[in-house]
Amino acid sequence: MQRRDFFKKAITVAGSAAIGSTTLEAKEAAETVHPVDNQKVSEIAFPQKRPLITYSDRPPLLETPREVFTTALTPNDLFFVRWHLPIIPTYINLRKFSVTVEGAVKNEIKISLHTLKTEFKAVEVTAVLQCGGNNRTAFKPTTSGIQWGVGAMGCARWKGVRLKDVLQKAGLEEGASWVGFNGEEKAVYNETADFIREVKIDEIHDDIILAYEMNGEALPYLNGYPLRLIIPGVYSDSWIKMLSHITVTKERQKLHFMDHAYRIPDNACECETPDNLAAETKPIEKMNVNSLIGYPQSGIKIKQSAELIVRGIAFDGGHGIKTVQISTDNGATWNDATLDDGSQGPYAYRAFSYTLKPQSSGTLNILCKASNKKGEIQPFAKDIKWNHGGYKYNGIDEVTVEVVS
């Protein structure tokens, strides 16, 4: 891609993301970005990150390259990044930083990071953080939003305190039903909605935590330092980063990012067509079953005489992975891959491997398909149902390599 072109694209995406996902801007982004030539690792690294696939630098939109997905944990410095608003504080004073719990609570409280770490029980959970728009480029026709490839996801071990314990400290008022979460970043224009997401109080469980550590280190700045919400099993749009305000309400608030974004058709197939959009929508919420081949990557050459170890990861919304299967005959027959021991728990990636010996030289397609303990199976890419936001893509993954004798 020409340098000039690249900047033009970067600016268009940045502009649209900065202003928020009004239909017009989102549409503009979809029309201007060409997914294929965007799938390149940048030469520039952001703080605490190695170079990543870069869609915008303001706000930062960084994708993890496919080859990283061969292990159950994703390194912090390769973990993808997504922000909606561009003015992200570059300095957090930990002496002053606190998370405020306000609204329909008995006592409004401000809790410092130090208090969270010393006066609340520390808990840990390993969980996949996946954007609802991960692999959006696979939808045909193109849908609006960031044109992510396969790497708008990652899996980390999160450490922090239970949301439940923090809410209990403030004490809920009678009738309290929703909790809203807001981070420290700001929009360019006052008119732009804050990125606030809400969770239903009766859906809060012990694994929903306010995390201050990721894979044994303080959260990286771009992944929400110093504190973020972790909701295992659901898409990451509500995993608010740089969390500073928790607002309890009795009624649902009217919020742009709850009412207009991150919603899918509220019908049995969760699908629609561009000419006939669904009248009713619902939040995307629980993740469906999914898997990805991290190695080999499409385009590489494999020696026919050598064994090839296919590696990748599989996950779902917490029911647990049952099988990962590999096909080398375009889905006619399937063989079980070997899964890791699953000791990271039901919300984590399961790393898999499968050893194959190419039968002949020429083009070889390798497909991988996961199923979960609830009986859900990934569909073939051609059977994926379309939705206008390009959410929840989970088509069977495929890479194509060249076998040489």
Ligand X SMILES: Nc1nc2c(c(=O)[nH]1)N[C@H]1C(S)=C(S)[C@@H](COP(=O)(O)O)O[C@H]1N2
What residues line the site for ligand X (CB under 6 A)?
Answer: 79-84, 129, 131, 183, 185, 195, 223-224, 236-237, 239-242
Q: Which does 196 bind (CB under 5 to 8 A by kind): Mo ion, ligand X, none?
A: none
| Close Cβ partners of 243 (under 8 Å, ≥ 6 residues apart) | 99, 181, 182, 183, 210, 224, 227, 228, 229
DSSP-assigned beta bridge partners for residue 372: 321
Could you tell me if 338 and 324 are in contact, meaning their C-beta atoms sit under 8 angstroms apart?
Answer: no
Min separation Cβ 228 and ligand X, Å? 7
Min separation Cβ 131 and Mo ion, Å? 3
Return the number of the residue (154 or 318) whose C-beta is nearest ligand X: 154
Return the number of the residue (73 or 308) whose C-beta is nearest ligand X: 73
Min separation Cβ 250 and Mo ion, Å? 28
When CB distances to Mo ion are compared, the closest residue is: 131
Residues 281-285: contacts with CB within 8 Å, 24+ apart?
A: 283/258, 284/132, 284/235, 284/237, 284/389, 284/391, 284/392, 285/234, 285/235
Min separation Cβ 236 and Mo ion, Å? 6
In terms of Cα–Cα distance, which of 209, 235, 252, 222 is closest to 78? 222
As a whole number of angstroms, the distance between CA 36 and CA 291 comes to 21
Which of the ranges 78-86, 183-191, 307-315, 373-381 carries the binding residues for Mo ion, by CB under 5 A? Answer: 78-86
Please pick, from the candidates 13, 17, 116, 131, the single residue that binds Mo ion as defined by CB under 5 A: 131
As a whole number of angstroms, the distance between CA 363 and CA 340 comes to 29
When CB distances to ligand X are compared, the closest residue is: 183
Q: CA-based Rg of the chain, rounded to a whole angstrom? A: 21
Min separation Cβ 285 and Mo ion, Å? 13
In terms of Cα–Cα distance, which of 345, 336, 295 is closest to 317? 345
Min separation Cβ 308 and Mo ion, Å? 34
Site string for Mo ion, 268-307 (x = CB under 5 A): ----------------------------------------
As a whole number of angstroms, the distance between CA 210 and CA 163 comes to 6
DSSP letters spanning 329-345: STTSS-EEPEE---TT-
Min separation Cβ 55 and Mo ion, Å? 12
User: Which phi and psi angles does 201 have, rounded to 5°?
Assistant: -60, -40
# binding residues, Mo ion (CB under 5 A): 3
106: how many CB neighbours lie within 10 A of its CB?
12
Return the number of the residue (83 or 352) whose C-beta is nearest ligand X: 83
201: how many CB neighbours lie within 10 A of its CB?
18
Return the number of the residue (82 or 369) whose C-beta is nearest ligand X: 82
Please tell me whether residue 14 binds Mo ion under the rule CB under 5 A. no
Q: Which does 241 bind (CB under 5 to 8 A by kind): ligand X, Mo ion, none?
A: ligand X
Return the number of the residue (224 or 318) whose C-beta is nearest ligand X: 224
Return the number of the residue (47 or 342) whose C-beta is nearest ligand X: 47
Which of the ranges 95-103, 224-232, 233-241, 285-293 carries the binding residues for Mo ion, by CB under 5 A? Answer: 233-241
Please tell me whether residue 61 binds Mo ion under the rule CB under 5 A. no
In the chain, the amino acid numbered 37 is D
168's enclosing H/E stretch is helix 163-170
Return the number of the residue (79 or 393) whose C-beta is nearest ligand X: 79
Return the number of the residue (237 or 397) whose C-beta is nearest ligand X: 237
Q: Which does 73 bind (CB under 5 to 8 A by kind): Mo ion, ligand X, none?
A: none
Residues near Mo ion (CB under 5 A): 82, 131, 237
